[in-house]
Amino acid sequence: MLRSRIVGIGSHAPKRVLTNHDLEKIVETNDEWITSRSGIKERRIAGEDESTSDLAKVATEKALEMAGLKAADVELIVLGTASPDMPLPATACHLQRKIGAKKAAAFDVTAGCSGFVYALSVADKFVKTGAVKNALVVGVEILSKFTNWKDRSTCILFGDGAGTVVLKGEEQPEGKKAKGIFSTHLHSDGDGWDLICIPGGGTVAPQSARVLAENMQYIRMQGKETFKVAVKGLSEVAVEALEANGFTKDEVDHVVAHQANSRIINAVADRLGLPSEKVHVNIDRYGNTSSASIPITLDEAVQAGKVKDGDVILMTAFGAGLTWASALARW
C-alpha cells in the first residue's frame, strides 16, 4: 500500500528575539502576566525586509537536504499560511521560484493555525494516490506584520517562523506497523469566524482609510472564548485520529500540538490522559507561530534525537475559521 512518509524536516525562525520584558516597554503588560497566562517568554520577529516566503525558503532547504531531494525534483508544494507575501499570487509560488522547484505545482492553504495540518492532509492525498512522487508541506507565518502592537491582548501571543516537511510515496504494509501517515482529520465551523480574524483588506472591507483608522488590517481575537473551543477541538480531533486507526493513547510516543498557549496544551494532555514527557512544548521560545508551530516543534524534537525510527506521532491543531485538524503518523 502506497503511503506518504516524512523523509525530511527543517525549520527556521528570524534572528530578532522579542522578550516579555521588551513588550513591557511597548504596552501595559508584564512578564509575570504573560508567562502565567500563556507560557510565552519570548518570540521571534521578522525583519522589515523579510517576507513569509523568505522564512519558508530557509526551512525548506534544510528539509530538502535531510531528504536528499533536489528542489528541481519536487513535484508539489502545499503551503499553509495566514500571513502571505501578498494577496496574489500564492506564497507557495514565491517559494517555488526562490528554491528553483521548476517542476512543482504550488498553492496555498488558509486554515488559520491549522494551516500546516490542512496542507499535510492535501499533500498526503496527492502522494498516497500516486499523483505525485513527493511533496513539500510548509507551515509559515509572519503574523508580526498583521499584529496591532497597541493591543496587549493579542500582541503578546504571536511569533514568526517556518517549518517544512518533505513527503515521499513509499510502499508500506497494511495495518498499524506501517510507517508514514495513517490518516488526517479536518473540521471547520464558520459560525466562529469572528473569534479570530483579520476583518479588513478583503472584499468585505477593502483597504481604505477607514480600514486603517479602525485597525481592521490587524488580527482580532476573543481570547477567552477561543481558549475553550480550542481545548475541545484539539482533544476531540486527536481522539478521532487514534480511534480511526485503532491506536490507544499508550501507543503514542509524541504529541505535537499547535502551540497557542501552554495552558491549552496542558489541558489537552490531561483530557487525552497523556504524560507531559510525550507532549512537546516550545511556546516559551516562539510564542504562537500559527501554521508554523507544529513543523517547528516536530523539527526541534527530531533534531534533538527524541523522535526514533518507528515512533508514533500525533499532531493536533486548532485555529481561525474556526478549523481544527489532526494527523497520525509513524516516523
Chain residues in the site for ligand COA (CB under 6 A): 29, 33-34, 37-38, 113, 152-153, 156, 196, 221, 223-224, 226-227, 230, 260-261, 264, 288, 318-319
Rounded to a whole number of angstroms, the minimum distance from the CB of residue 162 to ligand COA is: 17
Q: Which of 12, 254, 258, 280 is catalytic?
A: 258
What number of residues does the chain have?
Answer: 331
Q: How big is the chain by its Cα radius of gyration, in Å? A: 19
The distance of closest approach from Cβ of residue 228 to ligand COA in the complex, given in angstroms and rounded to an integer, is: 9
Q: How far is the CB of 260 from ligand COA (least distance, A)?
A: 3
- As beta bridge partners, residue 314 has 255, 328
| Least distance to ligand COA, CB of residue 18, Å | 13
Indicate the residue among 113 and 117 with the shorter CB distance to ligand COA: 113
Question: What is the Cα–Cα distance from 195 to 136, expressed in whole angstroms?
Answer: 30
Q: How far is the CB of 38 from ligand COA (least distance, A)?
A: 4
Does 113 qualify as catalytic in the annotation? yes
Considering the complex, state which of residue 36 and residue 129 has its C-beta at the smaller distance from ligand COA.
36
Find the helix or strand (DSSP H, E) in which 61 lies: helix 52-67
For residue 144, give the C-alpha cell. 508580526
> Catalytic: 258?
yes
Smallest distance from ligand COA to CB 167, Å: 24
Task: Compute CA distances 85 → 37, 77, 154, 167, 310, whole Å.
Answer: 31, 16, 21, 24, 37
Nearer to ligand COA, 33 or 247 (CB): 33
Strand order of the β-sheet with 161-171 is: 2-12, 161-171, 134-141, 76-80, 105-109
Using CA atoms, how far apart are residues 112 and 210, in angstroms rounded to an integer? 25
Of 185, 175, 110, the C-alpha closest to 140 is: 110
User: Least distance (Å) from ligand COA to the CB of residue 80?
Assistant: 13
Distance CA(327)–CA(180), nearest Å, equals 11
Q: Which of 20, 134, 261, 288 is catalytic?
A: 288
Cβ proximity to ligand COA, 133 vs 232, nearer residue: 232
Give the closest residue to 297 by CA, choosing from 330, 324, 264, 257.
257
Q: Which residue has the cell 484539539?
A: 234
Position closest to ligand COA via CB? 223
CA distance 91 to 81: 8
Q: Name the residue nearer to ligand COA (CB basis): 125 or 285.
A: 285
Nearest CA to 292 among 25, 53, 48, 31? Answer: 53
Report how far residue 331's alpha carbon sits from residue 152's, in angstroms, rounded to the nearest whole number.
39
Torsions phi, psi of 55, nearest 5?
-65, -45
Residue 169 or 319 with smaller CB distance to ligand COA: 319
The kind and range of the H/E element at 31 are helix 31-38
Q: Is residue 288 annotated as a catalytic residue, yes or no?
A: yes
Residue among 113, 134, 197, 254 flagged as catalytic: 113
Which residue, 74 or 157, has its beta carbon nearer to ligand COA? Answer: 157
Backbone angles phi, psi at 158, to 5 degrees: -95, 155
User: Catalytic residues, which ones?
Assistant: 113, 258, 288
